[in-house]
Chains A and B, each alone.
Chain A
Amino acid sequence: MASGKKARRAQALKKARRKKIAVISACALVIAAAALIIINSPRPGNDDRTDTAASITDFTAMSSTMAYAAINSIYENPAGHIGRTIRARGTYHPYSDPSMGQYYHYITLTDAPGCCPQILEFKLSGEPSRQDYPPQNALIEITGVFSSYEELGHTYYYWAVEDLITMN
């Protein structure tokens, strides 16, 4: 009777030890995985150059959630994204500033919940006239390169659009 108990006790101890080892290794694996993911996150200002300036980030092929987040990350660190090409779809509206004597052009993308629209400034490249731009509220698709210009001492960012398609 007593030896049976002792044997059971020894077995239970072994089992408990094995369980402990399993738990500790599982934790270690999880921590290692997390560390890898974080290490792989690139440093700010130097992100995902896997799509080089030659390839296009196509927002029309992405979900609106993804597009919203991607645009947000571009405008969070604009200097690091100069030269990036995107394709996007939205509604066009111009804005005229009498004090500056010129028009500004914007495309509004919409996000999934409809609560957080994003408004991007763009310019047709070359020497466009007012007629080259679409009518107000037209649904357009642009392909443009992220660029910047100076005005009154401030740096503004815009998309230099080569290709503008007016839908419908």
Chain B
Amino acid sequence: MTAMERLVYYFTFDFVRYAMTVGVLIALCSSLLGVTLVLKRFSFIGHGLSNVAFGTIAVATAANLTNNFFLVLPVTVISSVLLLRTGKSAKINGDAAIAMISVGALGIGYLILNLFPNTANLAGDVCATLFGSTSILTLTLTDVWLCAALSALVTAVFLLFYHKIFSVTFDEDFTAATGTRAKTYNLILAVIIAVIIVLAINLVGTLLISALVIFPALSAMRVFKSFLSVTVCSVIVSVVCAALGILISIFTGTPVGSTIVAAQIGGFGIFWIIGIITRR
């Protein structure tokens, strides 16, 4: 079987098609918000939120909830709103507080899972949640529809509020001073970021979500100079790396999440070199 034939054969499996669809959608949404997040110096808050999500998943598993989504999403949204409420990057004290919450959620989460084990293979499930080894390949059609609906919502909100998001990211003081409700848009951003993080846990696991958000934006910023071109490039890079990562992982048997991150690092390297060359 040639590689091409094998690829076609793999695509006859429904879970492969679901994985590609969801992977591309999640990569799209997370890269859209990634530009804003990176520029507002909020990358570490994204990491903290994903750890809070892990803690919530642990609690949901211990409580034997069949679908943890309906607990994880509200908790993550609330945490996101609380953390990002001020809009501006947290000062030194806030930084330590976020680190505490982040690490605390991770530690307590794992502790709870050990105290109330509800699954046969605890280590495996923790590994899968943290690193997203296989969750993307075990989706049901309902999962796909849910993800598609949320992605459509996120993209629509981003498009509708694009200029306001730009202004709030570039200069929040100016935006508020001239009468645009910066606080409301910060709130909307916080909610969207939480939704994306919860979706992205399926793709790359909680520990690696930050990569999905920051690498495409950083790659695009090496080369492009306007906010619009950076956003568009970031989306393209993210989608390509995610698709590539999923395909490579299916072919070679490597874990999906880490492979996607590796592809993104490769992409970043390429853009970095391009940036150096074009700047001459």
Contact = CB atoms under 8 A, between A and B. Distances in A.
Nearest to A68: B134
Nearest to A116: B124
Interface residues of B, number: 37
Contacts of A25: none
Interface of A: 34, 37-38, 40-44, 47-48, 50-51, 61, 63-66, 68-70, 72-73, 76, 111-113, 115-117
Contacts, number: 95
A40 B145 CA distance: 13
A73 B114 CA distance: 28
Contacts of A34: 21, 24-25, 148
B133 interface: yes
Contacts of A51: 12
A55 B133 CA distance: 29
A113 B127 contact: yes
A112 B123 contact: no
B252 A63 contact: yes
Nearest to A31: B152
A41 B19 CA distance: 11
Interface in B1-24: 1, 10, 12-21, 24
A69 B20 CA distance: 13
Interface in B193-244: none
Interface in B116-164: 121, 123-124, 127-128, 131, 133-134, 137-138, 140-141, 144-145, 148
B166 to A, nearest CB: 16
Contact of A69 (B21, B127, B134, B140): B134
Q: Taking chain B's interface residues, is the majority helix, strand, or loop, or is none over half, making it mixed? A: helix
Given A113-B131, A115-B121, A117-B121, 20 more contacts: A40-B17, A41-B141, A42-B14, A50-B12, A63-B250, A63-B252, A63-B253, A64-B253, A65-B133, A65-B137, A66-B137, A68-B134, A69-B138, A70-B15, A72-B15, A111-B133, A113-B133, A116-B121, A116-B128, A117-B124
B249 interface: yes
Contacts of A43: 141
A63 B145 CA distance: 27
A34 B21 CA distance: 7
Contacts of B250: 63, 65-66
Contact of A112 (B16, B17, B138, B255): B255
B89 interface: no
Contacts of A68: 134, 137
23 contacts: A37-B20, A40-B17, A41-B141, A43-B141, A48-B12, A63-B249, A65-B254, A65-B255, A66-B13, A66-B253, A69-B16, A69-B137, A72-B15, A72-B138, A73-B13, A73-B15, A76-B138, A111-B134, A112-B133, A113-B127, A115-B121, A116-B121, A116-B124
A115 B124 CA distance: 4
Contacts of A50: 12
